[in-house]
Amino acid sequence: MASTTRHRPPRAVSIAARLGQSRVGSRLEGEVRVTAADLVDSVAEARLKVAAVRYKVESEVRNKTQKLRSRVSEAKAKLGDEARFIKSWIDDPLRTGSVTPSSPALARRMASFVDPQKPGPVIEIGPGTGPVTEALIERGIGEERLVLVEYSPEFCDLLRKRFPRATVVQGDAYALSTTLAGHLEEKAIALVSSLPLFNRPPATRTALAREAFPLMVEGAPFIQFTYSVISPIPRKGSGLKAFVSDWVLRNIPPARVWVYRQAN
C-alpha cells in the first residue's frame, strides 16, 4: 500500500515579524548610507588636507628657492664690487684707498647723519659702487636728489645702471666747484664723502672742506669716514666744529664717522 506524503503548507510569517525585518533592513540600509556618506566626506577631507600640505610645501620650496637665488645674486654682486675695487686700487691706490667697499653697517651710520626731511640735493663724493648711495636711499633720500661725483669712468657706468634717477658726474672731487658746475641747481643739504682723505696732504684736505661748504646750505653736514683715530680734516684753523661717532666694528677694518659743520 503506497504511502501518502503530506506536504505541510509553509508557515505564515506574522505581520510583526515582517515589520521587524523591514525595520532592521531599513535601519541597516540607513547605516550603510550614512557610513558611505561619511567615507566620501572623509576621503574628500583627506584630499583637501593633502592638497593644502602640498601647496604649503611647494610654497615654502618656492620661497626658499627665491631667497637662495637672491642671496646668490647678492653674493655675485658683492664679489663683483670687491673685484672692481681691487682692480681700481691696483690701477690707482691713491685715489681708491681701499680694496673693499664700505660695509652696510658703516654706510648706514654715514647716512644716519643726513636729514631726509630737509628739501634739497645731497652730494656724495667717491661713491664707488654705491653702498653709501643705497643707504641714503634707504634713509629716505629720493634717488633723484642724489648728485654722485665719481672719478672712475667704470664706477660711473655702474652707478648710472644702479641708480638711473640720480645725477652721476664723472670728475675730480678735489676740484668740486668746477666738477659740479651746471649739475647743482640749488645748495645741498649734506655732503657725504668716502674719499681716502689721508692719501692726500693736509692742505688738500682743508681745501676740499673749504670748497665744499659754500655749495651747501647753512648748518649742513660734511660727513666723512676714516679708519684713523684722528680727524681726516685738519681741525686747527679750519673754523669747523666736529662730531665723531663710536667705532663701527662690523666694518673691516673698523671705522668711525666724522661730521663737520661750520662754526657760527
d(CA 178, CA 55): 61
* Whether pLDDT at 132 is above 90: yes
Q: Is 66 exposed, middle or buried (0-12, 13-18, 19+ CB in 10 A)?
A: exposed
**Average confidence (pLDDT) over 210-225:** 97
Which pLDDT does position 242 carry in this prediction?
Answer: 97
- Weakest-pLDDT range from 5-14, 132-141, 185-194: 5-14
Which pLDDT does position 96 carry in this prediction?
Answer: 45
Which pLDDT does position 89 carry in this prediction?
Answer: 47
Which pLDDT does position 127 carry in this prediction?
Answer: 96
- Weakest-pLDDT range from 70-84, 92-106, 225-239: 70-84
Residue 103, number of CB atoms within 10 A of its CB: 17
Write down the H helix ranges in the chain. 15-91, 93-96, 104-111, 131-139, 153-162, 176-179, 202-212
What are 37-91's pLDDT values in tens digits? 777 777 777 788 887 778 888 777 777 777 767 665 665 555 565 555 455 445 5
Which pLDDT does position 92 carry in this prediction?
Answer: 57
**Average confidence (pLDDT) over 198-215:** 96
Confidence of residue 237 (pLDDT cuts 50, 70, 90): confident
Which pLDDT does position 63 carry in this prediction?
Answer: 77
Would you state the CATH architecture of domain 100-262?
Answer: 3-Layer(aba) Sandwich (3.40)
Please state, for a pLDDT cut of 70, what percent of the chain lies above it.
74
Give every CB contact of residue 85 below 8 A, 6+ residues apart in sequence: 96, 98, 99, 100, 101, 128, 129
What the block records as the C-alpha cell of 102 is 664700505
Higher pLDDT, 24 or 250: 250
Which pLDDT does position 107 carry in this prediction?
Answer: 96
Averaged pLDDT score across all residues of the chain: 84
* Whether pLDDT at 184 is above 70: yes
Please state, for a pLDDT cut of 90, what percent of the chain lies above it.
59
* Whether pLDDT at 239 is above 60: yes
pTM equals 0.65
* Whether pLDDT at 179 is above 60: yes
Q: Which residue, 232, 144, 239, is CA-closest to 194?
A: 232
- Asked if residue 253 has a cis previous peptide bond (ω within 30° of 0), the answer is yes
